Structure 1
Amino acid sequence: MAAIASTIVPTAPDILALQEADSDDAPHQAILNMEELGRMTGLQSVHDGDNMRWGPQSGGFLGNILLLDPAMTLRDRRILELPGRCPRAAVLAEVEVAGHPLRIVSCHLSLAQALRAVQLRTVGQVLARRAPMQTILLGDLNEWRPWGGIALSRPMMGMDLTGPVRRTFPAGCPLLPLDRILTDNGTDVFDARALNSDAIHAASDHRPLAARVELRGRAA
């Protein structure tokens, strides 16, 4: 919590996506105090429904936690369970921001390229059946190739997702851009930066990634 308070909160995020925020083993108990996290950030968790958490002791679903500005109108939310050797999932939320529809997909993908491709193909198949809208994909994508590899290609996702490349791993001396903030129009993402502090080094092996996203005339 110290890293969030000292390094992330000052950026005043409207969207906060966390990974590995529940314990690895069942019952995947929350690592963070969710009430305190909400007060600290001013954001609201999308995981208040039982179907949005792995279990009653979890903060999110398999470590994925998504928090949003309460000013956003939440239209739909769901968990997408993803295939793989280790349990994986994506959190999908569809909101309106000042009347602008926006889809947010937060995920933590496999270390294996083949499984990443299958996981994002699964996400892409779900999105193909939903109403078209501006889409943000963010999280620990575990994709070190700056161009995104096959997992982020149109054949897998059904859309072109692009955005700035910033090295985030390992936290002490970043070499790989494992964490990304992407949109279906990559020019929407700007001011991307990997946050750094001693508190971050103590809390995680990744540096948090922050960016601004243009929403047709306004930024979030």
Structure 2
Amino acid sequence: MNAGPGALLRVATYNVHGWKSLGGRRDIGRFVETIRELAADVVALQEVVMPPLIEEECLERAVAGPLGMHAVSGPTLTRLGTEYGNALLTRFPVEQSRGHDLSVRGCEPRGAVEVVLAVPGGRLRVIATHLGLRARERRIQTEALLALVRERQDVPTVLLGDFNEWMPANRTVRAVSRELGATPAPATFPSCFPVLSLDRIWTSPGLALTSLRRHRPAYATCSDHLPLVAELRHPGNGIDKNNGETRKNEL
């Protein structure tokens, strides 16, 4: 892979399994340390559990704050007084954000979080998601995601998350790879003996993918997924990483 010019960025995706270890113990602190190990600028999280009403505050205080990052939440459902869904952490100012409902009738609610970030290379759009368990459901959700990708071809885009695709050459993976280009797919599930590539990272043309790997946490019992980490080069036009405050406006 050709690194080329521009700013080097690191992005990651991690299904945190409701902050529960393989043994069933819930320990947000261990997961925070695992996310710290990634040293990523942007981290997409799936299966995030937080109390309702104050979810944004809890995510900021319990997870993003200790990491020196900003949080954007994307809950998809509420169960027994607890909100559950997607989230995105970033070191960069958030210029714009919005959530997308990817739910299919008769299936568990699903969604995606979309943000535009001010990064050292200019602007970066990130779409973080967690697709459903049924093949037809994932096909519908993938079509919606690809339509979303096409909306903003002026901004370099990263599409990442837990795509729940069990087969390496399935219809969903082929569709995204045709649109954005094929990328490596290290196995991330189950974390104790990974054989399935459920977690994926794709980038739009203009973003040079320099590496993509799975990460083995120091706390080996964290989650049933391993984090997936990618480094990429932004084409670059000189936006300051530290310029401006975090803003969460509608696109």
Q: TM-score, normalised by structure 1?
A: 0.78
Residues matched between the structures, number = 205
For residue 171 of structure 2, what is the aligned residue in structure 1? 150
SS at match of 1:210: strand
Aligned with 2:158 (options 127, 133, 136): 136
**Counterpart-to-counterpart distance in 1, 2:216 and 2:145:** 31
Q: Which amino acid aligns with 2:233?
A: E
CA contact (8 A) 1:18 1:65 kept: yes
TM-superposed CA distance for 1:145, in Å, is: 3.1
For residue 211 of structure 1, what is the aligned residue in structure 2? 230
TM-superposed CA distance for 1:7, in Å, is: 2.6
TM-superposed CA distance for 1:195, in Å, is: 1.8
For residue 139 of structure 2, what is the aligned residue in structure 1? 117
Write out aligned runs for 1:3-42 (5 A).
Answer: 3-22=30-49, 33-34=58-59, 35-42=61-68
Report Cα offsets for 1:191-212 as digits up to 9, x if no partner: 32222246342x3111111121
SS at match of 2:231: strand
Distance 1:54 1:140, change over 3 A: closer
Q: Which amino acid aligns with 2:212?
A: A
Q: Which amino acid aligns with 1:209?
A: L
Q: Which amino acid aligns with 1:137?
A: L
TM-superposed CA distance for 1:160, in Å, is: 2.4
Q: Which amino acid aligns with 1:141?
A: F
For residue 165 of structure 1, what is the aligned residue in structure 2? 185
**Counterpart-to-counterpart distance in 1, 2:178 and 2:152:** 12
Distance 1:111 1:74, change over 3 A: same
Name stretches of at least 5 consecutive residues in structure 1 with no aligned partner. Answer: none
Report Cα offsets for 1:163-193 as digits up to 9, x if no partner: 2211100011001011111112498233322
Match status 1:195 vs 2:215? yes
SS at match of 2:219: helix
Name stretches of at least 5 consecutive residues in structure 2 with no aligned partner. Answer: 1-27, 242-251
Q: TM-score, normalised by structure 2?
A: 0.69
**Counterpart-to-counterpart distance in 2, 1:152 and 1:186:** 20
Write out aligned runs for 1:32-111 (5 A).
Answer: 33-34=58-59, 35-47=61-73, 53=75, 62-69=84-91, 72-84=92-104, 85-111=107-133
Q: Which amino acid aligns with 1:7?
A: T
TM-superposed CA distance for 1:2, in Å, is: 3.4
Report Cα offsets for 1:111-142 as digits up to 9, x if no partner: 22221110011122233333532111111111
Query: Considering only CA atoms, is the larger Rg found in Structure 1 or Structure 2?
Result: 2
CA contact (8 A) 2:75 2:87 kept: no
Runs (4+) of structure 1 exceeding 3 A deviation are 26-30, 52-59
The percentage of counterpart residues that share the same residue type is 29
Distance 1:211 1:78, change over 3 A: same
For residue 14 of structure 2, what is the aligned residue in structure 1? none
Bigger relative contact order (CA 8 A; separation at least 6): 2
**Counterpart-to-counterpart distance in 2, 1:94 and 1:63:** 20
CA contact (8 A) 1:79 1:92 kept: yes
Report Cα offsets for 1:65-104 as digits up to 9, x if no partner: 10111xx342321111003211000000112212522110
SS at match of 2:194: coil
**Counterpart-to-counterpart distance in 1, 2:187 and 2:38:** 19
**Counterpart-to-counterpart distance in 1, 2:69 and 2:94:** 13
CA contact (8 A) 1:165 1:180 kept: yes
